[in-house]
Structures are given as C-alpha cells and as structure tokens.
Amino acid sequence: MPRSLKEQPARKPPSAIGSLLIVWLFFRLVLARGFDLVPDEAYYWTWSRHIAMGYLDHPPMVAWLIRLGTLVAGSNELGVRSASAFLATGTIWVVAALTRRLASPQAGLLAAVILVASPLMAILGVIATPDTPLCFFSICAVACAIRVFLPEAENPHSAWWIPCGTFWGLALLSKYTAVLVGLAILLALLSHPVGRGELKKIWAWAGAILGLMVFWPDIAWNAQHHWASFLFQLHHGSESEGPANPALNLLKYIGGQAGIWTPVLFAMGCLLLINMGRSWRRLTIVDSILFFSAAVPLIFFAMTSLRREPQVNWPCFAYLPMTILIARLAWNSRPSAFYSWTKIGIIVAACAMVMVQVPQIMLLIPPKYAPRVPGRWRDLYRWRELAQKVDSVRDDAPIYASSYETASELSFYCSGQPEVWNLFNDRPTAADFFPGEPDPWTQDEIVYVRNWPVASYEKTAPPLPEKLLGTFDCELDNLYTFALNRPIRAREIIVGVRWSLVATQPAATHPTAAAARGRQ
C-alpha cells in the first residue's frame, strides 16, 4: 500500500539527525588534533600504558578506550581522543532516538540540536575524560529501562532489564557516580505501581546482578589493593577540604551548572523538574524514569557541594534525560513561551560552545576589558614547547615533576614518550601503583620540572626542596607560558647533578655550582 502524504515528511528528521551527527563528529575529530592534551587527558593516557582492571582515581574504562584509540590512530592527540568523539556522537544519537520514540521525529531532531549546541557535549566530544563513557552508557541504561515499558506500560517487556544492567555495569566501569543511575531507576520503579510490579519479577534483579558482574574487574582490583580507589573517591567526594562555606559552595555549584549547560536551558530544565516533582505520583512510569534520572544526580551533587568545592562536571549525565524532557515538551507545546525560550536557549548555548571551543576569540577583546584567564585554561598551552626544552637538556637523565599533571604532559610530549615520575607530589596518584619507578636519590643526574602560576612566582619564587638541594647541584631555567596574550605559568626546568660528581670538578668549570649556591 502506498504511503500517505501525511506519513512521508516523518522520514526527513531522522535523515537530518544523521547528517547533523556526521558533520558534528567530523569537527570533533578535526578539533582533536588542534591543541595539546589537557593535563587530565595526559594523566589518563599514562594509565593506558599500564593496562589494569582499576586505577586509584577512577575505574578503568577511560584507560581502556584511550589504549584502543592509540592502537588504531597512534599515540597522538587523535588517538587519545577518538573514542570520546565517537561515544559523544553515540550519546546524542541515543537521546535523539529515544526522544523520537517518546514524542515525534521533530522532537528527536530538536533534542539532537540542543546537545550539538551544548558546550558540555562539545567538551565531552573532544576531551578524553571518564564523563564521556559515563554519559553514553548511562543514557543507554536509561533507554533500556524505558524500553521495558514501551509500547504499553501495562504489558512490560521485562527482558530489557538484561541490557539495562549491562549498560549500568559499563557505566560503573567508567565512573563510580554511575551508582546514581541505578538508584534513580530504582526510585522510579518504587514510585509507580507498574514499576513495583517489575520489582516482583526476576528480570530486574537479574539485570542488576549482571551489572555488578560487569563491574567486577574494578571490584577485584580494589580488593587486591586494600580498596584504595573506593576509599580515595569516598574521601575526595564527601569530606570537606578545609573550612567549608556551604552557601557559597552551593552558589558555585548552581553557577557552574548554569555555565556548563548555559543559563536558559538550565533554568528551563530545573523549572520543568520542579513542576514534575510536585506531581510525581501522577507521572507515567516512563516520565518517572526520566524525572528521577535527571533529578537524583542534580540533587545529590547539590548536597555534596555543601561539604566541598563543587566541580561542574559532576552531574553531567543528568542533562541527557533532561534534554529529552525539554525537547518533548517544547515541540508538543509549540507555539508557546516554552518553545520560544528553548530556541533562545539553543542560540545562547551555541554561542557559549563556540567560545569554549575557540578561546582565541577572546583575543578580539581589548586587554583592559578581557576577563581573567580561567584556571582550567592555564594548563592548555605550550606543553610541547616545554617538552622540547626538557629534551634539549636531559640527555638520558630520568625526568621527575612536581605534579602528576606536569609529569603526564612531559611523558606524552618528550621525545620517545619516556616514563616521567612525580617527586614531592602533594597527593597520591595512579602512578604510585605502576611498577618500575627509579629511585631519584640514586641517580647521577635528574631533570626536575615545576609548574607555578606566574602571579605567585613573580612575588616569591618557591624555594627548592631541601632534600633536592642537599643531594644535587641544581641549575635552573624557566619557560613562561602565555594564553590570550597574558603570561600565566612559570615552568621551571631544574637540572640536578649529584654533589659527589660536582666535587670531582673545579667549581669554575662546573656551570651549575654558582646557581646551586645561590639557591641555598
């Protein structure tokens, strides 16, 4: 039977979604080669050189994905970031497909446009971070949970709990905060009679057990290492860091979320969740899953921010179900104020996304009106130049750095990609569990690199550690790092030669003796 004219236009939005995502993926891959690795990316890359079932800071998924990318595309920026680009594209596709199923093809396209314009997805699509696989696997788990109750909630397809549990386990292997995805789905089931009926069956519990089995490698690694990662994240995520200002931290949390999701879309999403929360007993089971999947992470991390300094990426996976809710309501209610504000939110988000992806645009702003260089941007520049300078002085000497960020960047960009180790680091790192670290105090010569903000460096250059000066004769050099026409980092390169070797040479012929005496 020929298709009616009314049915034919519905085929255009899926094609538009596919074309949009292909173009978006292409630009993600191009941008992946466009700038140096950020310190956390380089840190995760060092994990991928020591493949394990777990690491101190996070579960192993990000390291596994980077290892896969570098095997395919080489040990370069594209290899490190390629998996993130594909997973972020997949995330947008899942959100668009789910919105299309729940509302209409046009609503699905609107959901895709919201995410493509989002600075959050722009970052997740070009930076290798645990949040990217977390977002992909978590929305897949949510989609499978919703699929249980489609097309009719009264006739559930309970077998979908098996892939739901599998994706939940993969999300847990990406980041521990995925436990909130399982909690959100459980709360949604408990809140609705149809959901409570599913909890009486074996399928939902079989899916949960399967998810824990998928997560088992990380559990096993923790069991072998005295639960190091669990304890580290428990301390990192819940304990306060010094004197806490709950009100200020909460304001920072709200401001950070409004920044990463952009103010208009964030305000619209929060108002929508508040309205749904007021009538949560009357929600359908599908709406309950979407509501709790968005609300639980946002509320949990708001409470966490009362105890410690918040980070903007914490609840990133909450914005995927929120996008479905916004796009569905906006399209179904058009023409309406909500639909108009959604379009305004997309325009604002697109402008913010361009600013995030091309910070050089800020060079067009006169210096006296330009904003201060954000803290996270300070470490995006000139790592390659620093590595070249270290290469020029190190010969075969082992390299050490004052932080895991600097050590990871030097390991990636120095010639031959050598292992670079932390020295005098102020926190435990995943490298503490890597084998083969040489003892610096037995070396004849070392290169030690420090990284300091210019403001503090110009006031008082931080003194070298006494143990370093007591063992080595040190010669200093530095490399100032500029971003947006401003000096932002002073990176010291310190070449140390054992005093026992210096003593065998006349002071006049040894170039570092005067410098070392001056520092003492």
Q: In terms of Cα–Cα distance, which of 56, 434, 433, 432 is closest to 229?
A: 56
Q: What is the mean pLDDT of residues 458-465?
A: 70
- What are the tens digits of pLDDT across the range 498-510? 787 766 554 444 4
Query: How far apart, in whole angstroms, are the C-alpha atoms of residue 208 and residue 506?
Result: 71
Residue 295 sits at the vertex; the CA angle it makes with 289 and 298, to the nearest 5 degrees, is 145
Tell me which H or E stretch contains 420: strand 420-422
Instruction: Report residue 381's pLDDT band, with 50, 70 and 90 as the boundaries.
Output: low
Quote the CA–CA distance of 298 and 139 in Å, as a whole number: 15
Give me Rg for the CA atoms of the chain.
26
Place of tokens 């609840």: 315
What are the CA-CA distances from residue 209 to residues 141, 186, 287 (Å)?
14, 14, 25
- Which DSSP letter does residue 335 get? S
Q: Which helix (H) or strand (E) holds 508?
A: none
On the CB side of 45, how many CA atoms lie within 13 Å of its CA?
35
User: Does the pLDDT at position 383 exceed 80?
Assistant: yes
Residue 453 backbone zone (phi > 0: left; psi -120 to 50: alpha; other: beta): beta
In this predicted structure, the answer to whether residue 217 has a pLDDT above a threshold of 50 is yes
Decide the pairing of beta strands 399-401 and 420-422. parallel
Token output for 1:
């039977």
Backbone angles phi and psi of 434, in degrees to 5: -85, 145
Name the amino acid, one letter, at 330.
A
In the chain, the amino acid numbered 148 is V
Average pLDDT score over residue span 345-374:
69
- Residue 63 pLDDT greater than 80, yes or no: yes
pLDDT in tens, 268-310: 999 999 999 999 989 999 999 999 999 999 999 999 999 888 8
Q: What is the Cα–Cα distance from 169 to 139, expressed in whole angstroms?
A: 12
- What pLDDT, on the 0 to 100 scale, is given for residue 314? 93
Q: What pTM does this model have?
A: 0.90
